[in-house]
Structure 1
Amino acid sequence: MKPLWRLNKYLYRYKLYLILGIIFTFISNIFVIIPAQLVRIAIDYVVESFSFYRLYEGSPFSEEARSVFLKFILVFGVLILGMALLRGFFLFLIRQTIIAMSRHIEYDLKNDIYSHYQQLPLDFYRKNSTGDLMARITEDVSKVRMYLGPAIMYGINLLILFPMVIGYMFSVNVPLTIYSLLPLPVLSLSIYVVNNMINERSEKIQRSLSELSTFVQEAFSGIRVIKSFVRETDSGRDFHKASEDYKDKSIRLTLVQSLFYPLILALIGLSVIITVYVGGIQVIEGAIGYGVIAEFILYVNMLTWPVTSLGWVTSIVQRAAASQTRINEFLDEKSDIKSSEHLDTVIDGSIKVEDLTFVYPDSGIKALDGVSFDVEAGQSLAVIGTTGSGKSTIANLVMRMYDATSGKIYIDGRDIKTYDIAALREQIGYVPQDVFLFSDSITNNIGFGLGEITDQTVIEQAAKDADVYDNIINFPHGFDTRLGERGITLSGGQKQRVSIARAVAKAPKILLLDDCLSAVDTKTENAILNALKGIMEGRTSIIISHRVSSAKLADIIIVLDDGRIIEKGTHDALLERKGVYADLYEKQTQQAKEVEED
């Protein structure tokens, strides 16, 4: 239960629901016990009245006696029906309090987890898969809700009903109570064992089904490759194996499930038989009336479900504890990226980097080693290098997605760690290499950084600045065009320019372009570069690229290799030096000419 203690704050938050649920459960159980007593009284009355009625049979008073007899039977029937209706009403109120409470807590818990996820650093997302994050906020929370709803509801019912019913049974007849309850502990233990077997086999089936679904998804996604290499037969054989495994596990689960209800019915029947047998002996001896046997059979049936649910509830609690442990693992993750002074001020955009070194904590790879450079406000810097040279790491450190292992970054002469993180990032426009657009309208994608209030004029101007306005207005729905997943309905160049427009729309003081032209052709690149000239004007810009064509726009160029700066200067100065940059320029220029000739 220890992992579930963290949920106590939510139970306290909705304590009114819980208290009302307990009260309604108590009242509901009163209307369970009273009908059983009425049945006992009614049966005893019928037996005694029938004997009395036979004395008047054939006399002038027989009809009157019969009328009185039926009248009392009708009264008992109406009372029992009324009790059943009242119990049903309070059962409705129990679900409207305890189950509703579990839904409120589920809502709060999901929001708290999601909010916590967003506060965690980028390193957290490098270590954990998206599927795992989704599983904990959906499947694990659902299992926890089962504990907060049905498990608590049936648990409270068990704690209230058991003392009430057993206490009353002992007050009526102690020996009969002991004998009639003998099979119930065996029933509870049996249900617990069977439930554990069902849960264990269900989890195996879920894993098998997940593997089967993954296999089918990959097969259909890669159908061209399968057909090209003529592997249809092998693929079918592998599917048959995976499907056979799923079938075998399903049959084994069905075998266990088939034991469930027969086991319950057998033990309930045994309890009823013992009650009737022991009660019958006591009736013969004259110790009790016939009504007591009927009353005790009703009590046994009342206790059957709570006792049966005990094993089920225990299983739910175990699964919820395991799920909450998984949730707690992520909730206990803390972000080490914090602001020292929470400085919230408008920046000019000057950047100074001193002896910056960074090692990725998850892999231990040194991405930067003693990097230093200065960019004045309004200037532009190009960072050139091959894949893995540490270019993108600079952008991540400037945005404080990570903190440097050693060295300092200053913005406007202040340590970057003094700024409020959100306030700093709001003044930085970022265009990633891997463009991500949301499944939403173009307007909302471009205005994503503007918050809830979007100005259409600002959005249209950003589209013009990014040279994508003409493309957008030619779409049938213009700026209201909804994009597919990850912007799949747009071409590569259009996605890049919409991404640039999104960064520009927020009027950033610092603009980071992280190899954003790597996936476009030369013609599209030239169009985007022409657009960037105007966008970069008056803004501090850092252009990260492996293409020298992008670097020509910058005032200063640095060349990285294996995390170190090996060259620094202007475009013309680096060409005159005839070093690494000049070689890259010559090779890429030659390649561009060959492409144009082709």
Structure 2
Amino acid sequence: MADRQSNLEGLSSEAEEYPSWQVYRRILGYVKTLKKWFILAIVGNVIYATASALMAPGLKYIINSIENPTEANRVLVAGLIVALFMLRGLGAFMGQYFMANVSRGIVHDMRQKLFQNLIRLPATFFDRNSSGHLLAKFTYNIEQVTFAATNAVTLILREGLTIVGLLAYMLYENWRLTLIFLIAGPIIAVVIRVVTRRFHKLSKQIQLSMGDVNHVTGELIGGYQVVRTFGGEDREVARFTKVSKNNVRQSLKMALTQAVSTPVIQIIISLCIAVLVWVVLDPAILRDMSTGAIVAFLTAAVTCAKPVRQLTSVNAVIQRGISAAQDVFMLIDEPREADTGTHVAERVRGDIEINHLTFTYPGQETAVLDDITLSIKAGQTIALVGTSGSGKSTLSSLLPRFYDCEPGQILLDDIPLQDYTLHSLRQQIALVSQQTILFNDTVHNNIAYGDLGDVSREAVRQAAKDANALEFIEALPDGFDTSLGDNGKRLSGGQRQRLAIARALLKNAPVLILDEATSALDTVSERAIQDALERLMKGRTVILIAHRLSTIEQADLIVVMSEGRIVEQGTHDELLAKQSAYALLHSQQVNDRPIDITGEEAPRTTQGPDQAPDDFE
């Protein structure tokens, strides 16, 4: 987790190279598609600001009317009060409601762009970023961005125009006195500049701490069974308390900065107002201005304090938005999975050639695969076996190009994988991995997923039948229309695995990758599935990864791997006759005696004959 966080911090610091105004301008760019609502919101804020600014000259008129009461003045004063408050109410409604439309529209647009790019990012991106920090961008960060683009704009327009209107009236009444009040401007600007830097720094820390909170929470939700089984409740509570306290600490720093800056600015304004009052009470000034004008002028000066306070508080919102936007835009701009291939294949034969392939995961130094050369003919079933960490699953993940391999080359039907378009390449491959992934959708939609969405219900039913899943599916409350919930947790492990196998059966691809495909099945179900898989394998290229050697004895070629290298290959009988690596693995399972590929015998385990040894995948 620390590595991922440091990586995020590095990316965030890189984003800081862009000026804040440039980031904010990009935020406001999302308003273009919502300009109708934005314009209406601006009109509402202008109405509100105008009505607020008219309060001061209105007060002058009221005081003058009190000094010179007439019937006309009584009606006009009453009407003026009602009109001003109605205008403020109308402006507040328009500004708030139409800006809410803009806000939700920006949230939708940004989340769409985030998701559309996220779904096309390479596997290496997901390897180096935690899900908690990514989810924080979709929730917390985007909300902060929209606050900066909408709430902040609302306050700037409404309070800013109010200040402009009040200052305009003050200049009209007495420009010399107004200059005294404007002395506060440069001082306030210096305070805001200092506070802005602090807000920006703290906003980054708050976002990282929110990502940590999401990360720890997500791990608990995904692994609650392990937590409870191993008594990890106290440990997880301690972890969550730590990251939550850090989030509170950073938030309180932000609140402290804001709480200090606002009174400081208020004191500066109050000092200016005090000087104004002292000057206004000079007899010479009193002679030049009427009582109504003096009261209205001082009211306008005092009224400026509230919008100035609002404008200083909006600085925190803007800085949080800019800081959050840098992370959001960083993800939106993240380079997508390279798809430079142009070859489109309808259906390949399934010949696979691997030539001197070496592969190292990004950020690591040790090669996972080392000089792999392998020839797989169309229609052959190839079994990859070996101890955990030997590179079997890594090799299978290179075929759909989840990772690109260099040096070395993989050819499909004599064409390099990089020459295929990604969609065309992956259409040729069906995958059932040891980690079954199901979606919060119906049974039918989980089997007929993605490109398979248009197949008939009968075809889906047949695939389920071939995967030995039909019986339990029909026993569900709504059959194929039953919703599975989060990752199909309502089903047993074997049932979930059989749905994944049914999905692969339905795809009917020429290349089939089975990575521990029967690992979660009981003996009876596995036997039924093996029969179905054997029928499916005919005429297709199958790459089979299994820890139980009894499931691969009929493979056309068995490839034994160790530490990223191929140590031997051949049929089951050929490899047994060699009395080498495969024979040792086979002996290990048959005799329940863990023996390393190097030939060193380990102590007996207490596992049953059908269980995988601890050092096997």
Bin for the TM-score computed over the shorter chain: 0.7 to 0.9
Higher helix share: 1
| Per-residue deviation, 1:25 | 3.3
Deviation string 1:427-450 (CA, Å, 9 cap, x unpaired) is 321101111222332222212234
What is the match of residue 531 of structure 2? 530
Match of 2:52 in 1: 32
Judge conservation of contact 1:275–1:296 (CA < 8 Å) in 2: no
Task: Give how far 1:418 is off.
Answer: 1.6
| 8 Å CA contact retained: 2:575, 2:583 | yes
- SS of the equivalent of 2:54 reads helix
Closer/same/farther in 2, CA of residues 199 and 238 from structure 1, 3 Å limit: same
Change (3 A) 1:505 1:224: closer
TM-score (normalizing by structure 2) = 0.81
Q: Cα deviation per residue 1:499-552 (whole Å; 9 max; x = unaligned)?
A: 111222222221111122344455543343223112222322111223222322
Larger Rg: 1
Over 3 Å counting, the alpha-carbon distance change for 1:452 and 1:305 in structure 2 is farther
Structure 2: runs of 5 or more not aligned: 1-19, 594-605, 612-617
- The SS at the match of 2:339 is coil
**CA offsets 1:159-190 (integer angstroms, 9 cap, x no match):** 53433331231121123323455667767877
Distance 1:367 1:482 in 2: 39
Amino acid at match of 1:129: S
Q: Secondary structure at the match of 1:347?
A: coil
CA distance in 1, matches of 2:240, 2:100: 41
Answer yes or no: is the 8 Å Cα contact 2:466–2:502 preserved in 1.
yes
Q: Which residue of 2 aligns with 1:153?
A: 154
Q: Does 1:172 align with 2:173?
A: yes
Q: Does 1:385 align with 2:386?
A: yes
Worse-matched range after superposition: 259-268 or 98-107: 259-268
Q: Does 1:492 align with 2:493?
A: yes
Given the alignment of the two structures, is residue 595 of structure 1 paired with residue 596 of structure 2, yes or no? no
Query: Does the 8 A contact of 1:192 with 1:311 survive in 2?
Result: no
Alpha carbons 1:280, 1:293 under 8 Å: kept: no
Aligned residue identity for 1:398: L
| Aligned-partner SS, 2:31 | helix
**Structure 2 Cα separation of the partners of residues 255 and 597 of structure 1:** 63
Is 1:379–1:540's contact at 8 Å kept on the other side of the alignment?
yes
8 Å CA contact retained: 1:337, 1:403: no
**Contact 1:196–1:315 (Cα < 8 Å) also in 2:** no
Could you say if the C-alpha distance between residues 579 and 235 of structure 1 is closer, same or farther in structure 2, counting changes exceeding 3 Å? closer
Q: Which stretch has the larger CA shift, 133-142 or 1-10?
A: 1-10
> Offset of 1:484 from its aligned partner?
4.2
Q: Unmatched 5+ residue regions in structure 1?
A: 51-68
Structure 1 residue aligned with 2:571: 570
1:237 and 1:135 mapped to 2: Cα distance? 21
Does the CA contact (< 8 Å) of 2:436 and 2:496 recur in 1?
yes
Q: TM-score, normalised by structure 1?
A: 0.83
CA contact (8 A) 1:42 1:73 kept: no
Structure 2 distance, partners of 1:240, 1:10, is: 37
> How many angstroms does 1:372 deviate by?
2.2
Q: 1:253 to 1:29 in 2, by over 3 A?
A: closer
SS of residue paired to 2:341: coil
Of all paired residues, the percent bearing the same amino acid is: 30
Deviations 1:467-515 (A, max 9, x none): 1111222233322333343332222222221111122222222111112
Q: Distance in 2 between matches of 1:501 and 1:555?
A: 24
SS of equivalent to 1:102:
helix
Equivalents in 2 of 1:369, 1:226: separation in Å?
40
Shift of 1:252: 8.6
Deviation string, structure 1 residues 326-370 (Cα, Å, up to 9, x no partner): 223333331453233152533232222222221111223312222
Aligned to 1:116: 117
Please state whether the residue corresponding to 1:388 is helix, strand or coil.
coil
In structure 1, what is the equivalent of residue 9 of structure 2? none
Superposed displacement of residue 399, structure 1:
0.3
Instruction: Please tell me whether residue 287 in structure 1 is matched to residue 252 in structure 2.
Output: no
- Report the more deviating stretch, 79-88 or 451-460: 451-460
- CA deviation after TM superposition for structure 1 residue 238, in Å: 10
User: In the superposition, relative to structure 1, how do residues 571 and 247 fare at CA in structure 2: closer, same or farther (>3 Å)?
Assistant: closer
With over 3 angstroms needed to count, the CA separation of the structure-2 counterparts of 1:221 and 1:265, relative to structure 1, is farther
In the other structure, the counterpart of 1:373 is 374
Alpha-carbon distance change, 186 to 440 in structure 1, aligned in 2, over 3 angstroms: same
- Is 196-205 or 560-569 further displaced after alignment? 196-205
Pair 282,116 (structure 1): closer, same or farther in 2 beyond 3 Å? farther
Query: Residue 468 and residue 321 in structure 1: after superposition, are their counterparts in 2 closer, same or farther (change >3 A)?
Result: same
Report how far residue 319 of structure 1 moved: 1.8
Q: How many residues align?
A: 575
**Contact kept? 2:52, 2:88, Cα under 8 Å:** yes
Bigger Cα displacement from structure 2, 199-208 vs 483-492: 199-208
Contact 1:472 1:479 in 2 (8 A): yes
Separation (CA, whole Å) in 2 of partners of 1:114 and 1:239: 27
Distance 1:118 1:76 in 2: 63
Alignment CA distance shift 1:246-1:360 (3 Å): closer
Shifted more, 125-134 versus 284-293: the winner is 284-293
Kept after mapping to 1: 8 A contact 2:44/2:90: no
95-104 vs 360-369, greater mean Cα deviation: 95-104
* SS of residue matched to 1:119: coil
Give 3-state SS (helix, strand or coil) of 2:437's partner. coil
